[in-house]
Structure 1
Amino acid sequence: MTHKFDAAYWDERYAGRGNIWSGHPNPQLVAEAAGLAPGTALDVGCGEGADAVWLAARGWRVTGVDISSVALERAAGHASGLTLSGSIDWQHRDLLKWTPPALSFELVSAQFMQLPLEDRQPLFTGLAAAVAPGGTLLVVGHAPSDIESGAHRPNRADVFYTAQEVAALLDPPLWKIFVAESRPRDSAGHGGGPVTVHDEVLRAVRSP
């Protein structure tokens, strides 16, 4: 069965159990954003809010958007008991229908967006347009090879992509690409044992 990754799907998934993510920020966000000066950030598909909280704790003013109202409730609850030097504005958005404001964010982060090509390309193009001059676009996805890795992945080859595919959507005169690579990472397989997965990492900076 092919899942439609819409609001109903994600609300049901989040409502059906306790936290479905680790509560820790995504490792490639930490690797690529730790050295950036804080400003405004857009956390795309923010889920239960770990990335947004990590950024806000470092002084970022974060807009966290997600299609699932259940996820956003959990994210807000996670952040409510913390003292953050920055701030978080949680917004319920369908990313296939919502266009973020152009040239508005010093960081736009999209971690593991699982969408088919016909949805993914316009989304990433719109996210790139939301990056302010001198700002950073960070896109991280599951490598196509992960589907054979034994890790927990959707059985849908169309939702996997490479960093080079994302880089190809960017207009070269407007962007400097600092990272476009596949990075190995240890994870847990279906049987609970260790497997090696690969994160596709794209970090690019818009011209000032």
Structure 2
Amino acid sequence: MDDTPQTFWDRVYSGKTKPTGGRPSFALTRFIEGRPKGRALELGCARGDDAIWLAQQGWTVAGVDISEAALEAARLAASSAGVETRVHFERHDLAESFPQGSFDLVIAMFLQSPVPFGRTEALRRAARAVEKGGFLFLVTHGSRAPWSWSDPETVFPTADAEMADLALDPTAWREVFVGSMPRTAFGPAGEQATILDTIVAIERR
């Protein structure tokens, strides 16, 4: 099937009938909890779990996704969580448009897709959107879960490769953590496995 990024992800999220679990990503809570609050941007927010968690911590959040089906679920979840005044959701195809403004925190959690969408340039724009003193936080899959629908031959990016793709001025950024971190993941049928998250956590000087 010839998919665009939008048709692919709309089909994925339209097919999700169970409510979102509402849990934030493990790495996000580990690195972001306790940071000074401000304006946050999430790229690829999906059904909103991480954006909603940030809003609950006191951030003002913009969540972005290409799938309107995902965004509709995110808006409903934000309303149910009582944070609809602290978080809003926008549809963007990051190959064509990007949220306006600058942010104290920009995150992209597992912003990976089997359909190419100009990821490298989107992440470079994300870095440019970080205010001085702000934080850029990128997490990607570093290994494949046994239940994943991804290609078993997938080669996952390393943290050093992610940093190289960003092409940042090293004098303008401070590395907080650039590397891999294990976590326990749970599959749709209750499976459990240890997988790797690849993390780029850097602060703009």
Whether these two folds match at TM > 0.5 is: yes
Identity %: 36
Distance (whole Å) between structure 2 residues aligned to residue 27 and residue 150 of structure 1: 19
Give the aligned partner of residue 184 of structure 2: 186
Most deviating of 57-66 and 180-189:
180-189
Contact 2:135-2:204 within 8 A present in 1 as well = yes
Distance (whole Å) between structure 2 residues aligned to residue 19 and residue 132 of structure 1: 37
The answer for unaligned runs of 5 or more in structure 2 is none
Distance (whole Å) between structure 1 residues aligned to residue 36 and residue 85 of structure 2: 12
Large movers: runs of 4+ above 6 Å? none
Distance (whole Å) between structure 2 residues aligned to residue 127 and residue 153 of structure 1: 28
Distance (whole Å) between structure 2 residues aligned to residue 85 and residue 11 of structure 1: 23
Number of matched pairs? 202
Most deviating of 14-23 and 89-98:
14-23
Once the two structures are superposed, residues 9-66 of structure 1 have per-residue CA deviations (whole angstroms, 9 ceiling, x without a partner) of 1111111231475321111111111021110000111111111110111111100010
Q: CA 1:160 to 1:101, structure 2 compared with 1: closer, same or farther past 3 Å? A: farther
Give the aligned partner of residue 136 of structure 2: 137
Give the aligned partner of residue 163 of structure 2: 167
2:154 aligned with 1:155: no
TM-score by length of 1: 0.86
Distance (whole Å) between structure 2 residues aligned to residue 125 and residue 159 of structure 1: 21
Distance (whole Å) between structure 1 residues aligned to residue 123 and residue 39 of structure 2: 18
Contact 1:113-1:141 within 8 A present in 2 as well = yes
Once the two structures are superposed, residues 100-149 of structure 1 have per-residue CA deviations (whole angstroms, 9 ceiling, x without a partner) of 436x1000000001147882221111110110111000000011xx24x5
Distance (whole Å) between structure 1 residues aligned to residue 105 and residue 60 of structure 2: 10
Shift of 1:99: 2.8
Distance (whole Å) between structure 1 residues aligned to residue 117 and residue 6 of structure 2: 18
Q: CA 1:192 to 1:83, structure 2 compared with 1: closer, same or farther past 3 Å? A: closer
Contact 1:57-1:85 within 8 A present in 2 as well = no
Q: 3-state SS of the aligned residue for 2:53?
A: helix
Q: CA 1:156 to 1:126, structure 2 compared with 1: closer, same or farther past 3 Å? A: farther
Distance (whole Å) between structure 2 residues aligned to residue 54 and residue 18 of structure 1: 22
Contact 2:95-2:117 within 8 A present in 1 as well = no
Q: 1:19-30, aligned counterparts within 5 Å?
A: 19=18, 21-30=20-29
- Which amino acid is the alignment partner of residue 98 of structure 1? S
Q: CA 1:74 to 1:126, structure 2 compared with 1: closer, same or farther past 3 Å? A: same
Give the aligned partner of residue 175 of structure 2: 177
Once the two structures are superposed, residues 59-78 of structure 1 have per-residue CA deviations (whole angstroms, 9 ceiling, x without a partner) of 11100010011111111001
- Which amino acid is the alignment partner of residue 187 of structure 1? A
Give the aligned partner of residue 106 of structure 1: 104
Shift of 1:7: 1.0
TM-score by length of 2: 0.87
RMSD: 2.5
